[in-house]
Amino acid sequence: MPDIAFANGVFLPLAEATVSVEDRGYQFGDGVYELLRVYGGVPLRPLDHLARLERSARALGIALPFDTARWTSVITEAVDRSNYPEAKVYIQVTRGVAPRDHTYSATLVPAVVITVRAMTPPAESLYTDGTDIVTVPDLRWSRCDIKSLNLLANVLAKQQARNAGAFEAVFVRDGFVLEGATSNVMTVHRGSLVTPPEGPLLLSGVTRHLTLQLAREAGISVAERSLTEADLYTAAEVLLTGTTIEILPVGRINGRCIGEGFPGPITKELMARFRKLHA
Ligand code: PDD
């Protein structure tokens, strides 16, 4: 089987999988999700993703129906059934199925959907020539640390980027840069890797964490501090991190070229180290 879904407790071809129209994920975006990258048939950092899934679900009062061992076995079986060496695994847990009502009963049974699809990495030219990003006002709520299904502001921002010929939209709130619509943002200032600190206004990215760890291992100093939009323009390097993009250099912000030469040495070093993680 190629594209696989696990839904209502069974595996089946993705095209045959269905969910109830009264699933609260469908009607309210009432749920959480994760996206894992599979390299050579092996998911990268599954336990980090599962820990974040647990944190997101707990924050919404959703009790995950599986423990780590069960998640691991279902994910492994889904990946094995798909037989894709390079894949992305999407995990979604909603509060459950019930007649539409904003309030909910504590007895709802959370609904799990997992899909496995082949992964086509971004074009190599994005890594050599750098991506374009645009800055957008952050219209999201104030719990962006929860990986919830409510992605409307992200969807609109990402589409705005695409319409402008850019790869990513970066959210700016009160003058501070927070993260991309689907990625975290870092800069290099005076040889240090800088990224906004974790908190309720951005997602604690698995790739963000790995990148900071790789930087420390490489002897690069790391600072988790607020960045203004102006800091993006004066940075020697700007990079995005995320499960589907790994570490992606930014070449232009709102059409303005940034940095001194491209891709910068620190981004290059981190990209190479990241690739070794799954080589
Ligand atoms: N998004 N910030 C946001 C808002 C994101 O949606 C993502 C990832 C990240 C990066 O997190 P990580 O390194 O754990 O992938 C940061 C996934 C890929 C998505 O929504 O498809």
Q: Quick one: pLDDT at residue 259? A: 80
Largest CA distance in the chain: 58
**For the chain, which residues score pLDDT lower than 50?**
none
Catalytic residue among 88, 147, 158, 276: 147
Q: Residue 262: what pLDDT?
A: 73
Evaluate if pTM is beyond 0.85. Answer: yes
Residue 244: CB within 6 Å of ligand 1?
yes
Of 38, 177, 184, the one to substitute when testing ligand 1's pocket (max ligand atoms within 8 A of C-beta) is 184
Cβ count within 10 A of residue 182: 22
Residue nearest to ligand 1 atom 2, measured at CA: 183
Backbone angles phi, psi at 11, to 5 degrees: -90, 140
Looking from the CA of residue 210, the nearest atom of ligand 1 is 13
pLDDT for residue 263? 86
**What is 54-109 written as a DSSP string?**
HHHHHHTTPPPSS-HHHHHHHHHHHHHHHT-SSEEEEEEEES-B-SS-SS--TTPP
Residue 147 falls in the annotated catalytic set: yes
CB of 245 sitting under 6 A from ligand 1: no
Is there a contact between 112 and 65 (Cβ–Cβ < 8 Å)?
yes
- CATH number for the domain formed by residue range(s) 4-118: 3.30.470.10
Residue boundaries of the structural domains of the chain: 4-118, 124-276
Closest CA to 189 of 240, 133, 230, 231: 231
CATH of 124-276, one of 3.40.50.880, 3.20.10.10, 1.10.4030.10, 3.30.70.980: 3.20.10.10
> What pLDDT digit, counting tens, does each position of 149-195 carry?
999 999 999 999 999 999 999 999 999 999 999 999 999 999 999 99
Rounded-to-integer distance, Cα 76 and Cα 118, Å: 15
